[in-house]
Amino acid sequence: MNDATQPPADPGQAIIHFDKVVKRFGDVTVLDSLDFEVAKGEKVTIIGPSGSGKSTVLRILMTLETIDEGVIHVAGKPLWHERRNGALVPASEEHLREMRKEMGMVFQQFNLFPHMTVRRNVTEAPVHVLGLSRAEANERAEEYLALVGLSDQADKFPSQLSGGQQQRVAIARALAMRPNIMLFDEPTSALDPELVGEVLSVIQRLAEEHDLTMLLVTHEMQFAKRVSDRVCFFDKGRIVEQGPPEQVFVEPHEERTRDFLQNFL
Ligand code: ADP
Ligand code: MG
């Protein structure tokens, strides 16, 4: 049997578990036998140069990209595979749909539905994917719009909001599915500098007050220092170095990490 199809020793210990995952685009190997784990409730930041595979990790988790080799487990269940008669086989669409419910993602570009109100943006998936009634979904929208400080904007359209407000709606929309894991891909990179803070404080509050597992890609190093339990430095589809922020940021072991961090001084 191919080693890569063996489940990890105890996938139950980590809520996210990449085991020797390879991802290629044509001839380019984007993830190079990546081993990566995130514990339940852990807040992990991924940093690294452009093109190092950071977004690919998140997109694979959201099942927006497939993998070429290896096995991923999320919440103890295989992500790109499912177990049939004890063996791992490629996942059915139904299995993938179930797995997606574990995770919510916030993108650099907010990707709101432009023709829908804020409330409708937040209620759409709970109604259509989870089968909530409109009333239940509206109640849920109120809860999460309050959490991101936008209770008074529910009837507006995305184009009537600032970028920072739109990104906070995107966060509320992801939270309204009540995922166990939140993925953030450079959530403030598309924002004017004066709007970055309001989005980071919402994410920081989430990190501090909720037992969500969080995986964040960001170039906001001060923010990463404040919210992360662990920082992973990616380069060329591999983890070069990882550890608590005070170690990786203050005394990185690897020269490549030091060189990269120089750009943010
Ligand atoms: P990062 O988020 O760290 O900047 P990405 O994960 O987006 O990096 O991309 C890693 C590499 O994969 C880059 O070389 C990028 O050009 C390539 N890549 C990403 N998506 C695609 C795609 N859909 N088709 C071809 N190449 C891609
Ligand atoms: Mg990226």
Sign, CA torsion 236/242/247/252: negative
Angstrom distance (rounded) from CA 116 to CA 53: 32
Q: Which atom of ligand 1 is nearest to the CA of 56?
A: 6
User: Tell me, what's the pLDDT at 9?
Assistant: 46
Q: What is the CA radius of gyration of the chain?
A: 19
Angstrom distance (rounded) from CA 236 to CA 203: 27
Ligand 1, atom 14, lies closest to the CA of: 51
Question: In angstroms, what is the span from residue 185 Cα to ligand 2's centroid?
Answer: 7
Q: Is the pLDDT of residue 1 over 90?
A: no
Contacts of 85 (CB under 8 A, 6+ apart): none
Question: In angstroms, what is the span from residue 128 Cα to ligand 2's centroid?
Answer: 29
Ligand 1, atom 19, lies closest to the CA of: 56
Q: What is the pTM of this model?
A: 0.93
Residues in contact with ligand 1 by the CB-under-6-Å rule are 25, 28, 30, 48, 50-56
Question: In angstroms, what is the span from residue 145 Cα to ligand 1's centroid?
Answer: 32
Cα angle 255-33-31, degrees, rounded to a multiple of 5? 75
Question: In angstroms, what is the span from residue 6 Cα to ligand 1's centroid?
Answer: 27
For tokens 């209770």, the residue is 151
Angstrom distance (rounded) from CA 144 to CA 147: 5
Q: Which atom of ligand 1 is nearest to the CA of 50?
A: 4
The two tokens of residue 181 are 């894991």
Reported as a single tens digit per residue, the pLDDT across 142-176 is: 999 999 999 999 999 999 999 999 999 999 999 99
Question: In angstroms, what is the span from residue 50 Cα to ligand 2's centroid?
Answer: 7
ipTM value greater than 0.90? yes
Residue 43's SS3 state is strand
User: Tell me, what's the pLDDT at 197?
Assistant: 95
In terms of DSSP bridges, do strands 69-74 and 14-25 run parallel, antiparallel, or are they unpaired? antiparallel
Average pLDDT over residues 228-234: 97
Reported as a single tens digit per residue, the pLDDT across 91-121 is: 999 999 999 999 999 999 989 999 999 999 9
Ligand nearest to the CA of residue 186, numbered in listed order: 2
Q: State what percent of residues in the chain have pLDDT above 90.
A: 92
| E strand or H helix that includes residue 78 | strand 77-78
